[in-house]
Copies of this chain bind each other. A is one copy, B any other.
């Protein structure tokens, strides 16, 4: 922690744990840096993140064309189904949350506009202003782990949800779940420069955040395949066998990612399956990273969301530093019924970790000071909604259930559209915001893609965009069984647009199949 550097000119300069330099008399020669890929970190060059990429870039170009020359394309708007971004497609935010945050943003409103807002919204704004003291409000850096009062709200939520206690010292508020995953990956993936060959077990298909961060960490992605023929089931035997594959190659598997409900696959796990995953991680000293950001997006009545922490506690694992189970659970304000992606709020909870680990994570978080305060407070609002006798409870519940019912309806509409397409199969979405249909594409189409140097599903998605304005992501961006082709689509277009989106997709698909038959 203490940096000592010797006086300039004394011969030896040492800085922290970095290398040692000796002074020399020679002068370096001038050089011109052309700045090519070899001048950049090869891990950045190698990383890919398919949810945003050339298809979205093309969509942006088409949007500009529509803006400047309306009527010049075969469609009149771009429909971004590439990303779980509900408010980009017209979903409204929860009024209570926004009222509270408007008052925190401009505290004079607590007095002047109080008549416009519900009294419990005013009370919450006052509570948060109090929690932010001695700062004047939301404009100051907070504790790097997050505002203490919000972490307490998170703990209360976890306790209500799981029936087991939670400690605010284990909770870190983050700029969305992605930033939390990034912090954890950076902490747990060790560098090859000192001889490590670390790996992380990830589902295939997976959300490409995980593959991108694995590449950036110079770690190895050890894939385990979800079983498409069995509702994207997670087979623990596959984990065991892939662990051995990795071990044979000298890879030390340090973590296992499970996304439940699934992204892009939409399945929800049964409790006995989750218990087997927990036992696998505990037996083998692997950190379980549970991505549970879709925990409110549950569409299958007989498969309610259960957290990995609850499963672990039910199995008898305790949150002690000598626990054989090391678990990190992620949550976000971006999904569920709030869909507050732009606020960048979320949290993770550590389980079974010694204080040294949270101290290191705290230090890492502190380097960029803190997550944004509005996202932090939005996290508090997510986990502590008005309920029971609260004045706003009824209105909140009405907004919440309307959004969730509409999402469920749209998931069914989309599924019906997809399975009616020639050569397309698709598991129903138990949860999340996505469907991941499988495409059987004509041989001539695949040959054309190969000739163009792109994957057939990439070509399919690009053609779909050009013909309809619908933006989806090729399965190759998520990983898939070799020789199979998929795309991921959200079902987030508003109800009023779903029929037209379905019609456009159906027309495009039929025409494509006919022309390559």
Contacts and interface: CB of A to CB of B under 8 A. Distances in A.
A283 B87 contact: no
Given A54-B1, A102-B105, A251 B19 contact: yes
Nearest to A182: B368
A482 B15 contact: no
Interface string A25-57: 111101111111101111111111111111000
The complex is assembled from copies of this chain, and their number is 2
A188 interface: yes
A301 interface: no
Interface residues of A, number: 176
A98 B106 contact: yes
A309 to B, nearest CB: 17
Contacts of A479: 3, 5, 15
A4 B482 contact: yes
Interface stretch (A258-266, A372-380, A393-401): A372-380
Given A101-B106, A341-B369, 8 more contacts: A3-B211, A13-B245, A22-B249, A28-B247, A41-B189, A41-B191, A140-B341, A216-B367
Interface in A180-205: 182, 186-194, 197, 199, 204
Max chain B C-beta neighbours (<10 A), residue from A39, A88, A139, A479: A139
Given A15-B211, A190-B42, A245-B22, A5 B204 contact: yes
A50 B211 contact: no
Nearest to A333: B139
Contact of A105 (B4, B42, B98): B98
A441 to B, nearest CB: 15
Contacts of A197: 19
A2 interface: yes
A515 interface: no
Given A24-B248, A28-B247, A188-B40, A220 B3 contact: no
A136 B476 contact: no
A429 to B, nearest CB: 21
Given A139-B93, A372-B175, A215 B16 contact: yes
